[in-house]
Amino acid sequence: MKNIKALFFCLVGALGAATVQAETDSGIWMKGKEVNGYNQPHYEKISGYDWKDRYIITSLADPDNFPWSSASQGSVFSKIFRDLAEKEHIIVDFYYPRNYPNAVQKFEEGVVSSFSGVNTLFGVYYENIPYSQNVYIYPSFFENPVHVITSASSNPDINNKEDLKKFRGVYADTDKFSSFVLKDFSNFGIKKVKNFPEAYKQLLSGEADYIVGSYYSGIIEAYKLGIRDYVTFSKEAVWKMPMFFRAFPKIERYSRVEYLKRYLKSPRYKKIRDEALRELVEIYKENTKGVVPPTYIKTTTTQKNEEQSQNVEEENATVSPPIMGDKKDLKK
């Protein structure tokens, strides 16, 4: 029986090794190649710190907001949390509830399950919540940049926010925005679609002229769909959404939280944050090579080529030859 059990665990280990590659130095597990066609990062939870002076921040987090927080993939900020633990002995632990909106409501009302031990809310944008006594911890943890995404083959002339009104824009309902950004979307006539795949489909099939999306979510989805070479991102963010820890008043006043504030202002934090984000993009860039783009890419390209050929033929058939020397009438 012992031999059978040993054989069973060996087989399980072998199967696991075929689909999971661990990168313990960076705290990232790569999973899913056989299932999804490409590997995706899964960030390890911070653990193993048993200092007597440690301070634990247990944060309520959105279980479906990757790369910032995800019950299935963890958080790209794990690298920051690991450094924060080693430098300041502050441990950030995420608690993912089954019903996130309801849990947030309870948190703002000051009602928290003793089982969860939650004392903060992570990754929220600034909102005015009159009935709540909770406070934001400044400075913000991260500023989530929102960019304009356009087709690489037909880049509309968008130079500022006001130009967005002149074109057809969409945004993904699965992308998370602050209320003030959503208000701008409404004012500019930017329409909501189901998710990023639908937004990219509308963009690249000509139904929309641009997408507004948070940069990292947008670029990850572009790599996953195999369309990164078909889209461009604005050089500068059009909006920046500060992302905060939100805490009970007594927590915000705690002396150890001052260590967190100091850390968030430090060059050390900015360096590690930027490294983590570059690493995230590079992972998707490398692990989605060879992903076949959706069929609408080929169809759209073919249609555009046919339309361009037809337009040239029509121009040649109907436009009179320009007067020799009158260069302003020459077709480019």
Tell me what the mean pLDDT of segment 136-160 comes to.
Answer: 94
Contact 305, 153 (CB under 8 A): no
Q: Quick check: 313 pLDDT over 80? A: no
Same domain, 135 and 275: yes
Residue 194 lies in a domain: yes
Using one digit for the tens of pLDDT, what is the confidence trace for 282-312?
A: 999 999 998 999 998 865 544 444 443 343 2
* Most confident of the ranges 9-13, 128-132, 309-313: 128-132
Residue 327 lies in a domain: no
Same domain, 266 and 254: yes
Q: Quick check: 219 pLDDT over 80? A: yes
Would you tell me how many other CB atoms lie within 10 Å of the CB of residue 195?
13
Distance of CA 189 to the CA centre of its chain: 23
Contact 219, 145 (CB under 8 A): no
Among residues 229, 217, 233, 231, the alpha carbon closest in space to that of 289 is found at 229
Residue 130 has a pLDDT of 87
Residue 4 lies in a domain: no
What mean pLDDT value characterizes the chain? 82
Pairwise CA distance, residues 101 & 103, whole Å: 5
Tell me what the mean pLDDT of segment 83-104 comes to.
Answer: 94
Q: Lowest-pLDDT range, 116-120, 138-142, 233-237, 266-270?
A: 116-120
What confidence tier does 136 reach under pLDDT thresholds 50, 70, 90?
A: very high
Q: What is the CATH number of the domain that holds 108?
A: 3.40.190.10
Nearest 5°: phi and psi at 142?
-165, 145
Looking at per-residue confidence, does 182 or 256 come out higher? 182
Q: What predicted TM-score, i.e. pTM, was given to this entire model?
A: 0.80
Domain count, the chain: 2
Residue 167 lies in a domain: yes
Residue 213 lies in a domain: yes
Residue 3 has a pLDDT of 47
**Residues 117-139 as b or e (16 or more Cβ within 10 Å = b):** ebbbbbbbbeeeeeeeebebbee
Write the DSSP assignment of 164-197 as a string of letters. GGGS-EEEETTS---HHHHHHHHHTTPEEESSHH
Using one digit for the tens of pLDDT, what is the confidence trace for 17-58?
A: 333 444 444 578 777 654 456 778 889 887 667 777 889 999
Domain assignment of residue 175, given as a range: 144-239
Contact 79, 275 (CB under 8 A): yes
255-264 and 267-287 are packed helices; what angle lies between their axes, rounded to 10 degrees? 60
What confidence tier does 281 reach under pLDDT thresholds 50, 70, 90?
A: very high
